[in-house]
Chains A and B, each alone.
Chain A
């Protein structure tokens, strides 16, 4: 469904992503882990069309991506960001946030789709006419996910979708993402610094360091400690150390 070959992104003289290659099958999930500055979010932003200054080759559903994307691309590929407070307009109601993608893409039947969208992410219908500040953090992230689903995309790009949430709410959102994938056969690319979260959602994982993908492995290999690169081993040790506590 998604292929990325030899992707390079430069900011001035610094190469933030230097030759990243991976592929994700339809209905599959691919996770990218790494520390801040490793380039993981830059990969996702290039894939999402938020940064058009890159070289390499990227395809989605067999079609090569140009630096500038058409409307159809933005219908099929949607993104969910870390901080729902930053990604929802503070003066717009949930109703307005959810109807915008429908208006942009000329999809009708707005009323029914919004009601269905809210129930799909398990939000009460009363949330429809609320403002973001009247919702809890978990509810706001549900709104952001519902908005991403409005245009019925095939691909969801998830940038640290649960890092700003309480652990109890994180569990709910991760379960929701798993259910949605089952139901809609979505393809996920998820970025996080939390190995346990990535391994929970994504059977295939790429580890990034200094702009390069230093290792690709399965979640099972990661769990069992079958890692090759020292950076992966470091990240794994940090993660398991706390679990043993």
Chain B
């Protein structure tokens, strides 16, 4: 098991005392694709970020177990964490516009990530960067390597982000809404690309999204989160047989082309889901 999370709780101080954003979440991950689905504020991003210890300083984290490949994240030194972040586990964020350095070319950013991990000359790093760009299916990798982020489209920028994360050959990839800012066609391409790279390299993937059908299409397993808890965990192909009323609600409220509805069902939230 690469990732073990048991009874993870994340709380933040508020004027009314500590408020719990994640309440007793447990999940395990091997070399597989896990989707975490939920609305804004359900704690899905916090859970994934806790794994890299990338939470705001005010956050208080407790867990019976929070491990990455046997390393106790709660007790690890900052030095140990640096050996994990970006090297053994990569994080891809929603909008490449904000996560790429605007004054460095795409190629030099990837080369930097590569040299961080492997010792090599600048020339070797550049060749590696171009090779990585080709791997994420960029047709003209040399031109893209010399482009600045503002010269790239959203889909291209996200590919550059993925290439950068792949540079150190990580074992785990965490993708936090990697395609929400992209068009449907580009979205499908990027997800297919990630899926392909992950299975080819035998990596683990955590895909975070609010789009349940999308996630189930690309993942092996899906955990549905509501108000800081995992309310249901199921194999992706069993999604249509989801039991929990919240999961059903998320599925039903989507407009579809194949099943037109005159009125969309609105989620009625049962207070019992919170307990």
Contacts and interface: CB of A to CB of B under 8 A. Distances in A.
Contacts, number: 93
A171 B255 CA distance: 8
A53 interface: no
* Contact residues of A: prevailing secondary structure: helix
Contacts of A241: 188, 217
A243 B183 CA distance: 16
Interface size class on chain A is: 35 or more
B1 to A, nearest CB: 27
B211 interface: yes
A174 B250 contact: no
Contact of B255 (A174, A236, A238, A244): A174
Interface in A181-230: 193-197, 199-200, 219, 222-223
A197 B255 contact: yes
B255 A245 contact: no
B184 interface: yes
Nearest to B42: A166
A238 B257 contact: no
B40 A234 contact: no
B253 A195 contact: no
A170 interface: yes
Interface residues of B, number: 34
B183 A196 contact: no
Contacts of A244: 258
Interface string A8-41: 0000000000000000000000000001110000
Given A36-B154, A245-B239, 14 more contacts: A35-B186, A36-B153, A171-B253, A171-B264, A193-B184, A199-B255, A199-B257, A199-B260, A238-B184, A238-B185, A240-B257, A242-B217, A243-B259, A245-B216
Interface of A: 35-37, 136-137, 166-172, 174-175, 178, 193-197, 199-200, 219, 222-223, 234-236, 238-245
Q: Which 9 A-B pairs have the closest CB atoms?
A: A171-B253, A200-B255, A171-B264, A245-B217, A166-B39, A35-B183, A196-B255, A168-B267, A242-B213
Interface of B: 39-40, 153-154, 183-186, 188, 210-214, 216-217, 236, 239, 249-250, 253-261, 263-267
29 contacts: A35-B184, A35-B186, A36-B183, A136-B40, A166-B210, A167-B212, A168-B250, A171-B253, A171-B255, A171-B264, A171-B266, A174-B264, A193-B184, A196-B257, A197-B255, A199-B255, A199-B257, A199-B260, A200-B260, A200-B261, A219-B260, A222-B257, A223-B258, A223-B260, A239-B184, A239-B257, A240-B257, A240-B258, A242-B214
